[in-house]
Structure 1
Amino acid sequence: MKIEQLKPAQSVAELEQRLKDLKAILQNLKKKNVNLPQGHLKVATKQKRKEFYHIKEPGCSRGIYIPKAQVSLAAQLAQKDYNLRLAGLVEKEIGAIERFLKSTLKLTEISHLYEGLCPGRQALITPVTLTNAQYAAEWKKVSWQGKVFSDDAPNYFTSNNERMRSKSEVIIAETLQRYKVPYRYEYPLNLKRAAEAEQVTIYPDFLCLNVCTREEFFWEHFGMMDDPEYVQRTISKLSLYIQNGIFPGRGLIISMESGTEHLDTKDLERLIKNYLI
């Protein structure tokens, strides 16, 4: 379901981080080149054999032959030549990004247009980009039928009175709530096995929303990884995800535990911070 016409722009933050990385690379390149030999490398092919020459003077075309015993010198010169060309390209990209970031039109102005209106005016408008709070509210409105609980299933409930199948799922749900990450518990997902024509319906533990990027992630918790049969089912399930273009870290978050390695809430927080906020 498409909730808004235009997702908020994410490029500014990405460009700012790339600019920071490029400047660090440029500084590192300059430091490295100070310790590399003077001159440049010439590579010649003679009878299908590569020969290396040290060009010490500008304008010199022949250079000094580098024997095999001094191949490390050739490697240093090759690295220096690469570093110099790379530095030039890095400087160009730094300039381009800085000019873009300083431009009059900022990528956030479209979303800020609506956010800057008074509530009374906002109520009369259908914006192309919603605020994060509005998008999350619309996303939560979706109704679904989860997997049915068996009569003898244990009762585990969150603070919001949502019934779940395990204590670990309750812990994950409570952690998501604490970080204000919207989720749907056991939201049905139709997938196809590569060798079969028919669809199979599975119920991922959670479908989570990164409100800022509008990305959705399925979250599967595998809680009995010391049970060989359970591990085989887990492998089969992960394979099914991959066959349908849903990969761990790209649309799929995975957490695990066993009888000896219990669920670590700090790990849950790391996963949430990395993928969902």
Structure 2
Amino acid sequence: MNKDTLFIEKQLENLNLLEQSIKEASYGNLALQSHKLRVSRSHGKHQYYTREANSNTWHYLPQSELEKARCIAQFEYDQQLLLKIKKLRYHLEQYSKDYSFYQLENLYNQLCVGRKELINPRIILSNQAIRTWYAEHPGSQNPKEIETPYETERGEIVRSKSEKILADLFYHKGIPYQYEPELILGTRKIYPDFILFHVRKRKSAFWEHLGLINDPSYCQYNFTRLDDYELNGFLVGRDVLFSMEATKHPLNMKLIEQKLDIWLNN
């Protein structure tokens, strides 16, 4: 079974589970399926109106009936989400290149703020995933003093001009990153230069910058470090990316961007 087939099957499984959970959660709101909800804003506050599907008359819902508005909004959203799931399932089963799980997220993102306030989106949104990732991977954990500080565009302090260039590149490409997070590698605690977050795939990769490859002892140390990564399940090229430079060989930014693009698009 190839990689694409495994991906399709996993996404179908995810969609089926999501569909089942939505139907179970919506079962108690079936009585509201004939109701429609309208959201407006007055004096800085959201106001909610409802009407029967066969009526043109809207009725204002006071604060005491906010739960009814929430139930109607959630039911309407769930029905739209189920339609999106059905469409995505069709594309998956046809191996369509048009399939994108982000269509589910876009359904929520396109709602007005007032409706969003009433709704549980049922999925982990990208911005939520990014916030969680940052919280789980704090940066600047290396206790070693930074002797020659360089400030990145994002505002953190790094140890070299090359690390600043890399950090600013990640920043401009919109790649969530942290500088020198803590990682337990076997029995050792190390501080990779960077950790990156692939938002679409919800996975991380480390980036190591080898800045003194003309120094034999430095090369030996970092060869051992890369070997340790692989011995602990982090494969170079997949989970660990790296850049290099030497006295007469500066950073090859074109090659670095190619590596990033391959990682982002795989």
TM-score range, shorter chain: 0.5 to 0.7
> What SS does the corresponding residue of 2:94 show, helix, strand or coil?
helix
Instruction: Return the alpha-carbon distance in structure 1 between the equivalents of residues 156 and 92 of structure 2.
Output: 47
More helix per residue: 1 or 2? 2
TM-score (norm 1): 0.56
Give 1:159's aligned residue. 153
Residue 177 of structure 1 aligns to which amino acid in structure 2? Y
> What SS does the corresponding residue of 1:253 show, helix, strand or coil?
strand
1:157 CA displacement:
1.3
Distance of aligned partners of 1:159 and 1:107 in 2 relative to their CA distance in 1, 3 Å threshold: closer
1:132 CA displacement:
2.6
Instruction: Return the alpha-carbon distance in structure 2 between the equivalents of residues 102 and 241 of structure 1.
Output: 35
TM-score (norm 2): 0.59
Residue 249 of structure 2 aligns to which amino acid in structure 1? E
Give 2:108's aligned residue. 114
Give 2:183's aligned residue. 189
Residue 182 of structure 1 aligns to which amino acid in structure 2? P
Cα RMSD of the aligned pairs, angstroms, is 3.2
Moved more, 170-179 or 107-116: 107-116
CA displacement, residues 76-117 of structure 1 (integer Å, 9 cap, x when unaligned): xxxxxxxxxxxxxxxxxxxx98834399x9755543443343
Matched, 1:260 2:254: no
Instruction: Return the alpha-carbon distance in structure 2 between the equivalents of residues 179 and 144 of structure 1.
Output: 19
> What SS does the corresponding residue of 2:248 show, helix, strand or coil?
coil
Higher relative contact order (Cα pairs below 8 Å, separated by 6+ residues): 1
Give 2:215's aligned residue. 227
Instruction: Return the alpha-carbon distance in structure 2 between the equivalents of residues 146 and 111 of structure 1.
Output: 33
Identify which of 88, 96, 100 aligns with 1:101.
96
1:265 CA displacement:
1.7
Contact 2:184/2:190 (CA < 8 Å) preserved in 1? Answer: yes
Contact 2:208/2:240 (CA < 8 Å) preserved in 1? Answer: yes
Give 2:174's aligned residue. 180
- Pick the structure with greater CA Rg: 1
Instruction: Return the alpha-carbon distance in structure 2 between the equivalents of residues 260 and 175 of structure 1.
Output: 22
Summarize the alignment of residues 1-277 of structure 1 with structure 2, pairs less than 5 Å apart.
11=8, 99-101=94-96, 110-142=104-136, 143=138, 146-150=141-145, 153-192=147-186, 199-276=187-264
1:255 CA displacement:
0.9
5+ long unaligned stretches in structure 1: 1-9, 15-95, 193-198
Instruction: Return the alpha-carbon distance in structure 1 between the equivalents of residues 101 and 135 of structure 2.
Output: 29
Residue 217 of structure 1 aligns to which amino acid in structure 2? A
Residue 255 of structure 1 aligns to which amino acid in structure 2? S
Contact 2:197/2:204 (CA < 8 Å) preserved in 1? Answer: yes
5+ long unaligned stretches in structure 2: 1-6, 12-90
Contact 1:208/1:216 (CA < 8 Å) preserved in 2? Answer: yes
1:201 CA displacement:
0.6
Residue 163 of structure 2 aligns to which amino acid in structure 1? E
Give 1:68's aligned residue. none
CA displacement, residues 161-212 of structure 1 (integer Å, 9 cap, x when unaligned): 21111111000000001101110111100011xxxxxx21110001101112
Residue 216 of structure 1 aligns to which amino acid in structure 2? S
What is the aligned length? 179
Contact 1:185/1:207 (CA < 8 Å) preserved in 2? Answer: yes
